[in-house]
Amino acid sequence: MFSIISLFQEIDINEKIKEAPDNSYEIGVFIGSMLPFVTLVIIAYLLFRYNKNRKNKN
């Protein structure tokens, strides 16, 4: 339930960076914002590779 709610929350990255205590926090915000995209790309690649290998075996 909480994961659905978190998807609908708007995150203002610029506001977080302005309120950051130091520069290392900015790196964490950047990684945290890119992590879902990278995860989806990896999952899509793995599905593509699995289906390609399965097609070649038939």
Mean pLDDT along residues 25-39? 84
Question: What is this structure's pTM?
Answer: 0.57
**Separation of CA 10 from chain center:** 15
Q: Do 29 and 17 meet the contact criterion of CB atoms below 8 Å apart? A: yes
For residue 52, the enclosing domain spans 2-57
Beta-carbon contacts of residue 20 (< 8 Å; ≥ 6 apart)? 26, 29
Q: Would you state the pLDDT for residue 25?
A: 79
Q: Decide which of 51 and 27 is more confident.
A: 51
CA angle 23, 28, 34 (to 5 degrees): 130
- Paired tokens of 29: 């915000």
Tell me the pLDDT band of 16, cut-offs 50, 70 and 90: confident
| pLDDT exceeds 60 at position 26 | yes
Q: Would you state the pLDDT for residue 17?
A: 75
User: Looking at the 3D structure of the chain, how many domains does it have?
Assistant: 1
